[in-house]
Amino acid sequence: MQRFCIVIAAIMLILGISSSAAKTKTDWERDELRGKVKTLTVERVTFSEKFGQWEESARVQESVKTYDEQGSAMKMTNYADGVPSIWIIYSHDDSGRLSVADFSDSTGNMVGKEAYAYDSRGDLTEVTHYDRDGSLDQKVVFTFDNSHNATAYVVKGRLFV
């Protein structure tokens, strides 16, 4: 289950970066935040109607993401049913782009790592995922047109256009 959560988080991250890598300068912009946000907390709540009145359930944390003074994401904690389950520590290159994401479980054990590579225009060209033992799990390779739009990607030898 944890591996599935990591893969889903990685795909969401990849899609966010690949469509906007050359257009944005900070993770604040990529996450569509305004101002110098230090912490972003995402909560889940449900509403139900009782006797014609809306009632709100208890709020449950989904994730907490922290940013540095330059707007780069530093750490994210994902929650399962309100309990911390996966920690992600982000590293950035000299241009402020995401270069490495280290994934740890609730006991602090590393469960995976992702390395990110970019072309000279700043487009994300590769995401390499490693398992907890450091072995290669998968590599995703992207190609882009002149407008920085992803035109194709390859996952485990399979081409998607």
The vertex-125 CA angle with 129 and 128, nearest 5°, equals 10
pLDDT for 156 equals 67
Domain ranges of the chain: 2-160
Q: What is the pLDDT of residue 95?
A: 86
Identify the architecture of domain 2-160 in CATH.
Answer: Beta Barrel (2.40)
Q: Name the 3-class secondary structure at 91.
A: strand
* DSSP SS3 for 58: coil
Q: What are the 10-residue block averages of pLDDT along the chain, 161 residues in total?
A: 46 48 72 93 93 92 95 95 93 92 94 94 90 91 83 70 61
CA distance 140 to 11: 10
Q: Please state, in angstroms and rounded to a whole number, the distance separating the CA atoms of residues 96 and 30.
A: 12
